Amino acid sequence: MKHFPIYLAVEDRKIVVSGGGDAALAKLRLLLKTEAKLVVFAADPAAEIKEWAQESRLTLYRRALTRFDLDGAALIYAADEDPIRDAQIVALATEGGHLVNVVDNLEDSAFITPAIVDRDPVTVAIGTEGAAPVLARAIKARLEEQLPQSTGVLARLGKAFRPLAEKLPFGRARRDFWADYYFQSGPAALEKGGNTAVPPALETLLQDHLAKGEAAGRVDVVGAGPGDPDLLTMKARRLLDEADVVIHDRLVSPQIMELARREAHIINVGKTGFGPSTPQEKIHDLMIEHARAGAHVVRLKGGDPGIFGRLDEELDALTAAGIDWRVVPGITAASAAVAQIGQSLTKRGRNASARLLTGHDVKGFADHDWRALAQAGQVAAIYMGKRSARFVQGRLLMHGADAAMPVSVVENVSRSDTCVRSATLADLPDVLQGIEGPAVILLGLAPRAAAEFIEYNPQLREQV
């Protein structure tokens, strides 16, 4: 180890930065997070630096620094991006016994600044001694994902609680308590009631753990997005990592299920085992049963749980059973579908609202405001619309829609086997032929680029 990582006390101490360009800006953005007194020397500072000076966030001297300017400096950054100037500053700093960093110059630096994951007061510093900056960035990205933004707030609030937590026996019991606080009860309390909800939640949690150790079970109803694991929210990703039990629908892609904790109990309620589709009541029973047994249940649904997801029925059942729940939104199929064809759901001057429709509801084909939908420029995304396509076409034409109204069908949105078909209202049912995966029908939108359409339709490519 050629560099020893330490945390330096910088509150009210002077940190000097020489330079006013991009390198100085990058360092200053980081340094502004500290409580140090920042002093910048730059003859021609960037506009942002001038603004920070005006806001008294730093002191700016529009000249080169001299040895006297370094008095009392805890750290010095040579960020002029000029080797001659850098060398002068290194000489001055060394002479005065100061720690100096030359931006992007490991050799001449007495210290280096790590990559930082900031959840103040929790900070993680990552350094590779200049060997692998790409690796440092990758590690940082991974940690950013794993540490919720609330970590810092929770650490601050938890600190005051440490003496009380000593009522728990040292070792596993105390570790479990804190793990529960940082990754489950704490974030949940923060989300529901803000900072003031955290101390009472800590108190309750402590009583629970004192009583029997085990935390109560709960259910997180989580949106898994349309299929591409990269379209999961960070929160969904983390919950999948933590869950004891994952109850998922058929629409959730296998790649996403790969992300669930290896030890988790995975229950597919969309396919064989429970039959073609598990009755809703059975799903409620499963969630309740596992949560009652103390499990952290993730109820994973395709897209967004609040869009054609029977969310209310599940939440009502959980509430009636007295089980704690939370909802985590996801990217819905319509959002991902329009993104894929390069269009937007709403557009200035075209449509000020967009509709999300279902092709059929509990009573059969679903009825809608066909007259409004038939107007030129309207946009609607039809979910579960394959079987009702002819019905939809008929209703729209009957209400005066133009047969040339553009229609796009996006199958398996965001997945590697995705397919986009471009059509018009006139050929709506036909264009759906052969589509086997889940598909969104976008009324009123054509794919932005014809090339894209061709790319996803090998048959058509042959014809062109």
How many Å separate Cα 452 from the centre of its chain? Answer: 28
Report the residue number, 205 or 410, with the smaller CB distance to ligand SAH. 410
Active-site residue, selected from the candidate residues 80, 220, 249, 304: 249
Asked if 303 is part of the footprint of ligand SAH (rule: CB under 6 A), the reply reads: yes
Asked if 413 is part of the footprint of ligand SAH (rule: CB under 6 A), the reply reads: yes
51: left (phi > 0), else alpha (psi -120 to 50), else beta? Answer: alpha
Strand (E) or helix (H) holding 208: helix 198-212
Asked if 41 is part of the footprint of ligand SAH (rule: CB under 6 A), the reply reads: no
Instruction: Mark the segment that binds ligand SAH (CB under 6 A) among 60-68, 286-294, 295-303, 444-452.
Output: 295-303
130 contacts 106 by C-beta, under 8 angstroms:
yes
Query: Distance between CA atoms of 449 and 462, rounded to whole angstroms?
Result: 18
Asked if 307 is part of the footprint of ligand SAH (rule: CB under 6 A), the reply reads: yes
| One character per residue 212-231, x = contact with ligand SAH (rule: CB under 6 A) | --------------xx----
* Residue 356 DSSP symbol: E
291: phi then psi, degrees, rounded to nearest 5:
-65, -40
| One character per residue 241-260, x = contact with ligand SAH (rule: CB under 6 A) | ----------x---------
Computed over its alpha carbons, how large is the radius of gyration of the chain? 29
46 contacts 25 by C-beta, under 8 angstroms:
yes
Query: Distance between CA atoms of 75 and 79, rounded to whole angstroms?
Result: 13
Asked if 314 is part of the footprint of ligand SAH (rule: CB under 6 A), the reply reads: no
* Residue 365 DSSP symbol: E
| Residue of 19, 20, 302, 447 interacting with ligand SAH (CB under 6 A) | 302
Asked if 308 is part of the footprint of ligand SAH (rule: CB under 6 A), the reply reads: yes
Asked if 186 is part of the footprint of ligand SAH (rule: CB under 6 A), the reply reads: no
List, as one string, the DSSP characters of 268-331.
Answer: ESSSTTS-SS--HHHHHHHHHHHHHTT-EEEEEESB-TTSSS-HHHHHHHHHHTT-EEEEE---
Active-site residue, selected from the candidate residues 271, 312, 361, 367: 271
Report the residue number, 58 or 318, with the smaller CB distance to ligand SAH. 318
Query: Distance between CA atoms of 256 and 224, rounded to whole angstroms?
Result: 8
225 contacts 330 by C-beta, under 8 angstroms:
yes
Asked if 270 is part of the footprint of ligand SAH (rule: CB under 6 A), the reply reads: no
| Residue of 264, 304, 393, 419 interacting with ligand SAH (CB under 6 A) | 304
Give CA angle at 374 (368, 375), nearest 5°. 125
Instruction: Mark the segment that binds ligand SAH (CB under 6 A) among 168-176, 281-289, 301-309, 345-353.
Output: 301-309
Q: How far is the CB of 333 from ligand SAH (least distance, A)?
A: 3
How many Å separate Cα 458 from the centre of its chain? Answer: 34
Report the residue number, 45 or 438, with the smaller CB distance to ligand SAH. 438
| Residue of 20, 186, 438, 447 interacting with ligand SAH (CB under 6 A) | 438
150: left (phi > 0), else alpha (psi -120 to 50), else beta? Answer: alpha
Question: Which residue's beta carbon is nearest to the bound ligand SAH?
Answer: 303
* Residue 58 DSSP symbol: S
Report the residue number, 228 or 324, with the smaller CB distance to ligand SAH. 228
Instruction: Mark the segment that binds ligand SAH (CB under 6 A) among 30-38, 270-278, 427-435, 436-444.
Output: 436-444
- Secondary structure percentages of the chain, helix, strand, coil, to 5: 40, 20, 40
Query: Distance between CA atoms of 90 and 351, rounded to whole angstroms?
Result: 61
Range list of H helices, 399-431? 428-431
Q: How far is the CB of 2 from ligand SAH (least distance, A)?
A: 50
The question of whether 2 is a catalytic residue gets the answer no
For residue 394, the tally of other CB atoms under 10 A from its CB is 14
Q: How far is the CB of 356 from ligand SAH (least distance, A)?
A: 8
The question of whether 249 is a catalytic residue gets the answer yes
Instruction: Mark the segment that binds ligand SAH (CB under 6 A) among 42-50, 231-239, 387-395, 433-441.
Output: 433-441
Asked if 383 is part of the footprint of ligand SAH (rule: CB under 6 A), the reply reads: yes
Q: How far is the CB of 211 from ligand SAH (least distance, A)?
A: 38
- Which residues, numbered 315-354, are part of the site for ligand SAH (CB under 6 A)? 332-333
Report the residue number, 180 or 411, with the smaller CB distance to ligand SAH. 411
For residue 155, the tally of other CB atoms under 10 A from its CB is 16
Number of residues that bind ligand SAH (CB under 6 A): 22
Asked if 456 is part of the footprint of ligand SAH (rule: CB under 6 A), the reply reads: no
Known catalytic residues?
Answer: 249, 271
Interacting residues with ligand SAH (CB under 6 A): 226-227, 251, 301-304, 307-309, 332-333, 383-384, 410-414, 438-440
